[in-house]
Copies of this chain bind each other. A is one copy, B any other.
Amino acid sequence: MVPCMGMSFYDKLKFNADGLIPAIVQDQKTGRVLMMAWMNRASLEKTVETGKTHFWSRSRQKFWMKGEESGHTQSVKDIAFDCDGDTLLVQVEQTGPACHEGYRSCFFQSVEGASAFKTTEPQLIPPEQIYHKK
């Protein structure tokens, strides 16, 4: 007899018409939401398998590992999915800034008043130092 292995969490997920699911990435220690990016099934499997976040870039149509160029990788601590199975929440330990603009979080700007906005956290590294270093 084949033992019942239970339902896979992959069966609970709904990828969209392009085969993608949004993944919210949160710093496990501080609770800071760092970024949101898209995964396809292959990048999610690679994330589970390696413990490093992998995504699918819609603009570049490319599979990528977070930090592959910058070194600012994310070690996965937990992967949750929501009640509709159409969004992931990934808890990570982040090396360096998560944002390609050199901020800790991509959400470094907030609305102020009716329509103005302000920067809410310091830039940790100038972007040119992130991507053009040997």
Known: A9-B116, A82-B106, A84-B106. A33 touches B22 (CB 8 A): no
30 A-B pairs with CB atoms under 8 Å apart are A7-B117, A8-B115, A9-B111, A9-B115, A9-B117, A10-B115, A22-B22, A26-B33, A31-B31, A33-B33, A33-B89, A48-B111, A78-B110, A78-B111, A79-B111, A80-B107, A80-B110, A80-B111, A81-B107, A81-B109, A81-B110, A81-B117, A82-B106, A82-B107, A83-B101, A83-B103, A83-B108, A84-B106, A87-B106, A87-B107
A residues with a Cβ closer than 8 A to B are: 6-10, 12, 22, 24, 26, 30-33, 35-36, 48, 78-84, 87, 89, 99-101, 103, 106-111, 114-117, 120
